Structure 1
Amino acid sequence: MKKILSAASALVALCLTAYGSFAQPGIDEMNQARQQLSSSFFSALDCALVMAALFGITGAVKIYHNWQMGKPRIDSDIAAWFYAAFFMVLAGMFLRAIFGI
């Protein structure tokens, strides 16, 4: 009898805990904050694309200058320039997928 009583009281406590978890405040406020963030700021993808363009232009000017000055091997500079811009585009997509802004 004592086992049944303790099992029943554990079941009731578990049900009350599950019921209380549905009544969490703040979900509407979090959605409202997300809406305000997305309406007043650039999206993360737009910001990453702008940064990738800046990296691309800066890297292209640097590589062009090194090429014109006769630097013998610019292959590593070209790869670094390309992958930096590519990383920024992927980072923007990742942030957009994770945070939704």
Structure 2
Amino acid sequence: MKVILVVGCCFLPILAMAQPGISEMQQAQQNLSATFFSAFDCSLVLATIFGIIGAVRIYHNWQMGKDRIDNEVANWFFAAFFMVLAGAFLKAIFGI
């Protein structure tokens, strides 16, 4: 019984090295990092679009004489800020 256990332990490293998948996992990580950086750029583009649209709408409302535009300023600002933070948060979570 002990002989079988010793022989099995000797062949265990050989079997562990023969496992496929390391190169596939590295390829998947490279694909994820390439896709993620484009998603991060997309979040920055969306934040820019939110900022521009918000600025135009706020300027229009201000020129039309609306009194309380404070809430609208905060809404558009935090929408753009959330998109920037979401991209940075995802980048920190995935570590790529």
TM, length-normalised to structure 1: 0.66
Name the Cα RMSD after superposition. 2.5
Deviation readout 1:71-96 (Å, 9 max, x if unpaired): 11000000011111110000000111
User: Take 1:32 and 1:38, find their aligned partners in 2: how far apart are those partners?
Assistant: 10
2:61 & 2:73 partners in 1: Cα distance?
11
Q: Which runs of 5+ in 1 are unaligned?
A: 1-11
Q: 1:93 aligns with which of 88, 91, 94?
A: 88
Report 1:40-51 matches (<5 A): 41=35, 43=37, 44-51=39-46
Within the alignment, does 1:32 sit opposite 2:27 as a pair? yes
**Residue in structure 2 matching 1:69, options 56, 59, 64:** 64
Helix, strand or coil at the partner of 2:67: coil
Identity among equivalent pairs (%):
69
TM-score (norm 2): 0.69
